[in-house]
Copies of this chain bind each other. A is one copy, B any other.
Amino acid sequence: MVGSEVILLDFWPSMFGMRVRIALAEKGIEYDYKEQDLPDKSTLLLEMNPVHKKIPVLIHKGKPINESCIIVQYIDETWKDKSPLMPSDPYTRAQARFWADYVDKKVYDALTKSGTLKGEEQEKAKKEFIEILKVLEGQIGEKPYFMGESFGYADIALVTFYCWFYTFETLGNYSIEKECPKLIAWAKRCMQRESVSKTLPDSKKIYEFFMEMRSKLGL
């Protein structure tokens, strides 16, 4: 059933799946991309991620790896000879993990709320999301990337949300760039890398997808 060396089970608008696609592109790894039909989950997906039943799943030599941040670390540790994604010293590596973890704990919920809640709740959600982004912007500071000169793990964790900004900015009627210009400058810097620009779908396509999904769900 699993013929290729490397297979990715994914869904095109997923910011978590995009993380894996960027890491694979950075390493120059060829793989079989298998688009998953959600919510109608394939037998392969259920078999390869029986615990969470979620994409992305990387299947390497028939064995599954789950959870996007864990997959990115696995890719970095398995294909070591090109484009290191993790800092080499343990302290900086811990910092990279800290920021990726911060993104995982904070960004998804706050971003979606900023566009989908209404009235006062939405104003509060937008403020909270901007505060989270300002913390991240403060960490990037004047550096090209999160941990300094090299693009890596923490950048990958955050940058995939960038193509979703337009959707929630439009719905929430606000501008992230106005509040966090340095963060957007960092995102544009990341977009100069082929691994990122070829992975992230067009923002308007994401918006169309989201609006269609909402209308299908009757929201």
Q: Which residues of A contact B (CB under 8 A)?
A: 51, 60, 63, 65-67, 70-71, 73-74, 77-78, 90-91, 93-94, 97-98, 101-102, 135
B51 in contact with A70 (CB, 8 Å): no
Is the pair B91, A74 in contact by a Cβ cutoff of 8 Å?
Answer: yes
Question: A102 near B135 (CB under 8 angstroms)?
Answer: no
User: How many copies of the shown chain assemble into the complex?
Assistant: 2
User: Once the chains are docked, how many angstroms separate the CA of A50 from the CA of B74?
Assistant: 30
Task: Tell whether, in the assembled complex, residue A90 and residue B77 are in contact, meaning their CB atoms are under 8 Å apart.
Answer: yes
Contact between A70 and B101, CB atoms less than 8 A apart: yes
Q: Are A70 and B91 in contact (CB under 8 A)?
A: no
Enumerate 13 A-B pairs (CB-CB under 8 Å) in ascending A order. A51-B98, A51-B102, A51-B135, A63-B91, A65-B91, A67-B97, A67-B98, A70-B94, A70-B97, A73-B94, A74-B91, A74-B93, A74-B94
Q: Which residues of B contact A74 (CB under 8 A)?
A: 90-91, 93-94
